[in-house]
Structure formats: C-alpha cells, structure tokens
Structure 1
Amino acid sequence: MVPPPSTTPPNPQQIQQFLSSVLSQRGPSSLPYAEDTKWLIRQHLLSLISHYPSLEPKTATFTHNDGRSVNLLQADGTIPMPFQGVTYNIPIIIWLMESYPRHPPVVYVNPTRDMIIKRPHPHVSPSGLVSITYLQNWIYPSSNPVDLVLHLSSAFSRDPPLYSQRRPNLNPNPNPSPNPSMNSSMTSSYGQPPPRVAAAAAGYPPSPYGRVQLPQPPQPHPTSQTEDAAEVYKRNAVNKLVEMVHGDIIGMRKGREVEMEGLFSAQAVLRRREEETNKGLKEMQDEKEGLEQQLQVVLMNTDVLDSWVRDNEGKTKNLGMNNVDVDEAFHCIDVLSKQMLDCTSADLAIEDVVYSLDKALQEGAVPFDQYLRNVRLLSREQFFHRATTAKVRAAQMQAQIASMAARAPHYAT
C-alpha cells in the first residue's frame, strides 16, 4: 500500500521552483537519482505537466517488495481516456524509480472508493500495477512520460480498467441516445448490474483536454452522403502531413542520439589523451630536473679544472722543451697528495722487485729460501704502503666533498 503523497505547488512557476529545490538537495535527504540525469528528470516532468495539467509532481515514500522504503518523485492525477465519444479522467500515479530515466517508471491505477479494477484486465493487475508494451520497450533517452501517457490513454480506451460499483445517475454522453451495445458488452465480473465507466460514475467530469489524438493506426472515416469531398481530402492531407512530420521527428531524434554517442566516445578519447599528455609532461619535467643537477656537477668540475690550469700554466715557462726533468714536472699541492705519491711509488717499486726475484728464481740465480725470505719482507712493506694509500684516499674524498659543498651556493644562485 502506497502512503498518501505530499502536496505540491499548484501553478507552473511554483512547480518549476519545487522541482529545482528537491532535485538540487544534497545529503541524506536528497533524492536517489544520478546527478547526470536530474536535469533530464526535471525536463520530463515539466513537459508532462505542460501537456497534462491534471498531473502534479510530488515527493512521496515508495515501499519496495522487500520492505525497503525510499523517497521518490511521482506524478499524481488523472489522464484523459476517450470512450464511446466521451473523454473521461482515469486516476493514475506515475512513480519515477531510482534508476529512472535509464529504466521505465512504475505506473499504478489509483481507483477511488467508488471504483473497482476490472478483473481480468490485460494491462492492469488486481493491485493496480500497469504493464503495457511501451513500458516493456522503454529506450533511454528517447522514451519519455508524455508518450507514455498517450499509450496509456490508447490502451485504456480500448479496454477501460475501472468500473463503478454502483449504477450512475448521470449519463456521461453529452448527446443522450440509446446505446444497447454499451450495456450488452460491458458486464460486471462481480455479478452486479452492467456498470458504466468508472470515471463518470465517480464524479469525474469530462476531460478538459477535449478529444485526444492517440497513437492508433489510422482508420478509414466513413463518408456520408452529405459530407463534402473537399473536407475529406483536406482531412486526409492533414493526417498525411502529421504522419510525415512525426516520422521526420523520429528520424531527427535518432540522428541526434547517434551524434551524442559519437560525442561521448570522442570525450572519452580526449580524456585518455589528456592523461597521457599529463604523464608525458611530468616525465619531461623530471628529466629536466635531472639534467639541471648534472649541469651543476659539470659546472663545478669545470671550475675545478680551470683553477688547476691557472695554477699550473706558468710552471713550464722557465723550462726548456728538451731538458724537462720528469721529477720536476709534477709537484704535490699538499701533504696528503705527497704522501699518496710516495706510497704509490713504493708500492709499484715493490711490484717490480718481486717480479725481478721471480725471474731470478726461475733462472737459478737466487736460492729458494732466500727468495721466500725476501718476498715475505717485501709483502709486509707493500701491505703497509697500500693501507696508508687507502687512508689517504679517504681523507682526500672528505676534503673534496667539503670543497664542493662550499661552492654549491654559488652555482645555485
């Protein structure tokens, strides 16, 4: 059982304000519709109300079969139903479910206390739930509530879903005339006297819509003897133009849907390319930072080499080109460099001595025991020089790091 819906604004301006307010709410009290479809829901309801003013948008609580309750939008009121020359009002409720408009709404016939639902009915269940082909073939985004109401009116006019439980006192036909086929074809399933259409019996006046043009296949109009042939031709021409315009509108709508799908696909491609471009830009920025760091190191090394060249370019001016003393060509700049040079020279000299001893031993010039004793003494001394060289190299590295740190602020600026 659906609870009674809340009241809604009566005029179009207030209806627009009402829809804008309820669809823009955020937080726990917001309606459970997707954000990208709320604008389309608003347009659907405004178009429905403009075509059928007897329907009003409301918010009410809908209870699912599993007991879950949710606050949803609905269109509550009456829709026109032409039957045997008279247009009646059928009370219905159109619920917009959480997945609307991608899925069809849920439609209920809402009978009053003086009405009963016809049993069996091909489109209405005993609970009032409506099922027609248009709902089953609902296609997003072309399907809409206006066309739904047209198909509902067409289906109900062929087989009215509601009847009155009592015989009406008023004749709904504005031109009273005996109609035996009406009484003979419509019989009550509850054993009561043949009822008339429920909308008239329940006090609903004839519809303000007038005669409603329904989406039914065209039927030949019987031409009486007094009917003018020009009027018949004019009416047929108008109907043909309406059919052509309707076909053109359907074709244009399908074309626009194809264009929208293409634009959505292009948008997805552009977004993917944007991500790839941003990723490539970040990689280029990281590479730029790495090159700048390498440039700083190169500039520092260049400065060191320039300093060395300036300090040593005048040392060969006083020396002749043919009598250059190798021992005087290089000078150590500090104590650590001189100690490194001495230790390296001693290490290499010991290597040469050991090589000479090996060769003398092979030739038999040196006894084997003397060879072993000399190699042991030379190895001990060579180990001492190599250990000293390692310590000096570590001290030089510390000094170089301190010198680079001192120059870093100069290059950073």
Structure 2
Amino acid sequence: MAPPPPSPSPSPASGAQYAHQFLNTALSQRGPSALPYAEDVKWLIRNHLVALADAFPSLHPKAALFTHNDGRAAHLLQADGTIPIHHAGASYNLPAVLWLPEPYPRSPPLVFLSPTRDMVIKPHHPLVDRSGLVANAPYLRSWVFPSSNLVDLVRSLSHLFGLDPPLFTRSPNPPPIPATPLPRVHPSSSSSSSSPSPYRFPASPQLAARLPPTEDPAEVYKRNAIAKLVDMAYADAATLRPAREAEVDTLFAMQATLRSRGEVVSDGVRKMGEEKEALERRLQDVMMATDLMEAWVMENTKGAAGDTEADEAIETADVLSKQMLECTAADLALEDTIYALDKAIQEGSVPFDGYLRSVRALAREQFFQRVLSTKVNKAQQQAQVARMAARAPQYAS
C-alpha cells in the first residue's frame, strides 16, 4: 500500500492553514493510497480535525502507520501534540496522540499519552492504564455519533487531567516501575525527519512528583466534588444514549416506511395517468366511430319518403287475406288483454267482479273473431280449389 501524502510538521503560525491543506489532500486520495474511512463521513472527519487544530493549536493532524493488537497495520489519521492542563495554579502540556481508527467517527478515537523519558505514568490512575491508553474517560464511554467530536473530547480530558494529572516527573532515585511498552507507531516515510524524537512540538514542562503536603483540604474537596459531578453528568449521558439511539432507529424505520409508501403512491399515480391516457384514446376512437355512423345514417336516409304507417307496410293479396289478417290480429290482441287481466287479478289490482265482466265480454268477442276466422279460412280454401279447377285442362266428353 502506498503511504498517504507527506505530513510535515507545521509551524504554529500556519497550523490552521496546514490542517486545511493537509486534510483536503489526504482525504481526497483514491485507490491504493486512500485512507480507510467511509466516503460518507470523510467530510465530518475533516471538520473534526480542523476544529481541533483551531481550538488546540498544539495538536496537529498527521497520517502514520498504526499497528493493531492483532498485527494488522493501516495508515490512519492522528492528532499529534500536547493537551494543555491547569493544575495547582500552573499550566502544563501533556504529550498525547489521538488516533482515528477505521470506524471513526461512528466509534470513538484511541487516545494515548506518550510521556517523555523524564516522565512516568501515575500508577492506578482512574482514566489512564499503564500503557498510556486513555481507556476510562467518560466522554469516550458515552461517545455518540454524530454529535460527539474531538474538541469536546480534548476539553473534557484537559479538565479531568487538571484535577488528577496522569504524568509525573521521575524522581532522582525512582522506585522500580515495570515498563509497559506503548503500541507501535510507525510514522510514514514521507513524514520522517533526522530527529529521533517522534514529536514535533516544544518540550513539555515537567509535572511535580507529588502533591504539595500543604494542599488545602477545601481545594481537595472541591476538586473531588467537581470530578464526581463530571462523572455523574457523563453517566447520565451514557444512560440517555440507548433511548436516543432507539428513537433515532425508530425515526429511520419510519422514514423508510414513508419512503416505501411514497414509492407505492408514485407508482399508483403513474398507473392512473397511463390508464387516463388509454381511456382518452379510447374515447377519441368511440367519438370517431360515432361520427362515421352518423354520417352513414344521414347519407342513407336522404330521399326517403318519410314515415310509413305500420298498416301500410304489409299489403294483402285479396279481400279474404285482409279479413283473415284482421281476425287473427284481433284474436291475439284479445288473448293478450285476457292475460293482462289474469295478472292484474293475481296482484289484486282489479276487483273480482270487474274482472269477471271484462273477461266475459272479451271471451265473447274472441269467440266471434275465431268463428269469423274459421269461415274466412273455409272461403279461402274454396277459392283455392276453384282457382285450381280453372287452371286444370278441359276434356271433351
């Protein structure tokens, strides 16, 4: 893997400008030389480091090779320098390195104190272990993405270390302390210099080996009370964190549901638009067909003689045929009338005595019509026989 771009030590006057330029170059790398951070959070990483350089000029962004506990090595960003603290009325600078691991900023950074040769780590410090790792800081335990940031972290560490400094100056005859090696840090070859020291900042003033024996008990009580309040505040924040994360997850789930419903609604609107267009085309086709039918009807009704009476639509051959037609029509009409009276009497629409009188009169009339029809039929048969006999050849006797 190619190393990231060079990270020379900036001068104090150009620290902010250097942070901007270096981070723009380092985070824009692609391919084998790209830093192992997610693309959607690189802008946030840049903002965190730039804000840190502005708030604490003694911490400068760099890129170096970090070796994990399992032996993996990766080029990571770091903030290298000192953390200012105030203790017992004096100001001090603690040498420290803030590493940004691959999951950052969704997970907290790794903070290491890097004491010089004349410094030792205070044994059994509540926040710093013997290797220099700041493992129990409340701000790190309650890290919340995306609100947590490096500036607030360093401010919290500066305050807590001022209450209980984790580094002390070696005494002239120090008691034997087991040495615990710090994690290996291999600076990139492009950022190496001829000086063997891995730090590029002024030497840190030494801390006192122990607290003055004449320390005011009121100050001790005040310091302990402040430390307890800070721990309680961070504990409350850590307690509220799961609830806030659950609310965020619920909102994300709701957002996904709304987005899915929006897609369904959009798809329904699109289908309705397509159906509307199809119906409009169908309506146009029907209107065109209607126009064609009306034109055809108008063209084929030109020159017609007008309305024709129903009786004139059928022309009989002779007088007997006409009389037979009239008798048959009257018989059928009387039959329909009697049937209508039967339905009416069943529904109770006409009185029973009125029904009997009407049926009796209609039946009499129907009888006469049928008798007349029978006579006309016989007359037609006789006429037919006569016509056939007239057409037969005559033989002489």
TM-score of the superposition, structure 2-length normalised? Answer: 0.51
Query: 1:295 corresponds to which residue?
Result: 283
Query: 1:138 corresponds to which residue?
Result: 143
The equivalent position to 1:324 in structure 2, one of 313, 338, 342, is: 313
Q: Which amino acid aligns with 1:111?
A: P
| Partners of 1:23 and 1:159 in 2: CA distance | 36
Greater RCO structure (CA 8 Å; 6+ sep): 2
Q: Which amino acid aligns with 1:301?
A: A
Give a deviation string over 1:48-102, Cα, whole Å, max 9, x none.
Answer: 2222111101122333333333332210011123444432221111112233233
Note the C-alpha offset of 1:108. 1.0
Sort the Cα spacing of 1:294 and 1:315 in 2 relative to 1 into closer, same or farther, 3 A: same
Query: 2:82 corresponds to which residue?
Result: 78
Sort the Cα spacing of 1:56 and 1:65 in 2 relative to 1 into closer, same or farther, 3 A: same
Sort the Cα spacing of 1:38 and 1:289 in 2 relative to 1 into closer, same or farther, 3 A: same
Query: 2:156 corresponds to which residue?
Result: 151
Note the C-alpha offset of 1:291. 0.6
CA contact (8 A) 1:119 1:189 kept: no
Sort the Cα spacing of 1:66 and 1:206 in 2 relative to 1 into closer, same or farther, 3 A: closer
Q: Which amino acid aligns with 1:73?
A: L
Query: 2:301 corresponds to which residue?
Result: 313
Note the C-alpha offset of 1:315. 6.9
| Partners of 2:203 and 2:140 in 1: CA distance | 27
| Partners of 2:266 and 2:299 in 1: CA distance | 50
Give a deviation string over 1:253-293, Cα, whole Å, max 9, x none.
Answer: x9xx99x97xx779778756653552233122211222133
Q: Which amino acid aligns with 1:75?
A: A
Superposition map of 1:44-193 within 5 A: 44-131=48-135, 132-163=137-168, 167=172, 188-190=175-177
Sort the Cα spacing of 1:221 and 1:60 in 2 relative to 1 into closer, same or farther, 3 A: closer
Sort the Cα spacing of 1:164 and 1:296 in 2 relative to 1 into closer, same or farther, 3 A: same
| Partners of 1:204 and 1:320 in 2: CA distance | 125
CA contact (8 A) 2:95 2:204 kept: no
Query: 2:8 corresponds to which residue?
Result: 7
Q: Which amino acid aligns with 1:13?
A: Q
| Partners of 2:292 and 2:163 in 1: CA distance | 102
Note the C-alpha offset of 1:112. 3.5
Note the C-alpha offset of 1:313. 1.4
Give a deviation string over 1:113-134, Cα, whole Å, max 9, x none.
Answer: 4544444443223332111222
Higher Rg: 2
Aligned residues: 255
The equivalent position to 2:42 in structure 1, one of 32, 38, 41, is: 38
Q: List alignment gaps of at least 5 residues for structure 2.
A: 179-200, 207-216, 221-236, 316-397
Give a deviation string over 1:19-69, Cα, whole Å, max 9, x none.
Answer: 233334455544344444434333322222222111101122333333333
Q: Which amino acid aligns with 1:31?
A: L
Query: 2:274 corresponds to which residue?
Result: 286
Q: List alignment gaps of at least 5 residues for structure 1.
A: 168-182, 192-201, 208-218, 223-249, 327-413
| Partners of 1:306 and 1:203 in 2: CA distance | 103
TM-score of the superposition, structure 1-length normalised? Answer: 0.49
| Partners of 2:47 and 2:118 in 1: CA distance | 35
Give a deviation string over 1:284-340, Cα, whole Å, max 9, x none.
Answer: 2211222133224313432442343134313743784343369xxxxxxxxxxxxxx
Sort the Cα spacing of 1:301 and 1:126 in 2 relative to 1 into closer, same or farther, 3 A: same
Give a deviation string over 1:161-184, Cα, whole Å, max 9, x none.
Answer: 3445573xxxxxxxxxxxxxxx9x
SS at match of 1:135: helix
Sort the Cα spacing of 1:295 and 1:310 in 2 relative to 1 into closer, same or farther, 3 A: same
Q: Percent of aligned positions with the same letter in both sequences?
A: 48
Sort the Cα spacing of 1:112 and 1:206 in 2 relative to 1 into closer, same or farther, 3 A: closer
CA RMSD for the aligned pairs?
4.5
Sort the Cα spacing of 1:65 and 1:306 in 2 relative to 1 into closer, same or farther, 3 A: farther
CA contact (8 A) 1:77 1:92 kept: yes
